[in-house]
Amino acid sequence: MASPSSSSSTSRNWQYDVFPSFSGEDIRKNFLSHFLKELERKMIFAFKDNEMERSQSIWPELVQAIRESRIAVVLFSKNYASSSWCLNELLEIVRCKEELGQIVIPVFYGLDPSEVRKQNGDFGKFFNKTCQNRTKQVKSQWQKALTDVANILGYHSEN
């Protein structure tokens, strides 16, 4: 069980230390597997989506895992914005940051933070395609969340 660190979250009982938000098998195989091994080696408990019970409804379990994680690590790749699932996870992560004092750490994998911040480049193309058939309100919420999280000091994979 993770112990809380920030004063705004001292009364919380965290189920996980880290919730990784990511999209794509490229991230899962190349980056995430190494990242999770390193966390495990350091006795840091991370939520792992591939360990979820198969008979469970996925979304409520993901929301619960996000809410019960002290830290959310958002692994932005060019494919992240191609997933409405990830964009909705991001909305929940931003909510938890604001309401629960969750720590959010962005990692920019193979793309520049400005592509996420401004939704341009390949990231922007995927984002615009995902926004087709969505309301202006949903697109606006996703844009704000992407910009807010991309403005947090994080890590760039090339560094």
List pLDDT tens digits, range 60-114. 889 999 999 999 999 999 899 999 999 999 999 999 999 999 999 999 998 999 9
What is the predicted pLDDT for the residue at 4? 41
What pLDDT digit, counting tens, does each position of 131-143 carry? 999 999 999 999 9
Place 8 in a pLDDT band, splitting at 50, 70 and 90. Answer: very low
Q: What is the mean pLDDT of residues 22-40?
A: 86
Position 156 scores a pLDDT of 87
For the record, the structure tokens of 4 come out as 């809380």
Catalytic residue among 38, 61, 68, 89: 89
89 is a catalytic site residue = yes
Amino acid 2: pLDDT: 44
Contact 29, 94 (CB under 8 A): no
Question: In angstroms, rounded to a whole number, what is the distance separating the alpha carbons of residues 114 and 128?
Answer: 16
- Both tokens of 52, joined, read 């979820």
- CA gyration radius, the chain: 15
* Residue 130 region by backbone torsions, left for phi larger than 0, else alpha for psi between -120 and 50, else beta: alpha
